[in-house]
Amino acid sequence: MVSAEILERLSATLASRREADPSTSYVAKLFHKGQEAILKKVGEEALETILAAKDGDRRHLVSEVADLWFHTMVLLANEGLSAEDVLAELARREGISGIDEKASRPVKD
């Protein structure tokens, strides 16, 4: 069974790439290019995920979601965060109505 351990291992790998030579790693290259490049990649992967869902090809959808999760984790690592931070937030929300959780968020100006 696949577990959260793979997210932990991936988070550790991504963190180790932050200082790597950009010529030796795709992720190091993304980090080197900066937040704008990472955000662009997350956006591209989100769109590809949507398109795969609309196509109805389940295998393609899983592949695109994996790409989206991966690039979102790169974004988290770039911001000094990890999958553990997201898992903790999901655990905090567990058992709370989505309507109640959203209502508890501060109002943004």
Summarised one tens digit per residue, pLDDT across range 1-32 is 567 889 989 999 999 999 899 999 999 999 99
Say if 105 falls within a structural domain.
no
The answer to whether position 104 is within a domain reads: no
**Predicted pLDDT at 98:** 75
The verdict on residue 84 lying in a domain is yes
Q: Encode pLDDT of 78-101 as tens digits.
A: 999 999 999 999 999 999 777 766
Q: 84-93 burial string, b = 16+ CB within 10 Å, else e?
A: eebeeeeeee
Is the per-residue pLDDT at 43 higher than 70? Answer: yes
Domains identified in the chain, total number? 1
Is the pLDDT assigned to residue 102 strictly greater than 80?
A: no
Cα 43 to the center of its chain, rounded Å: 11
Task: Determine the structural domain holding residue 36 and report its residue range.
Answer: 4-93
- Radius of gyration for the chain, computed over Cα atoms and rounded to the nearest angstrom: 16
Structural domain contains residue 55? yes
Does residue 14 lie in a domain region? yes
On whether residue 103 sits in a domain, the answer given is no
The CATH code of the domain that includes 85 is 1.10.287.1080
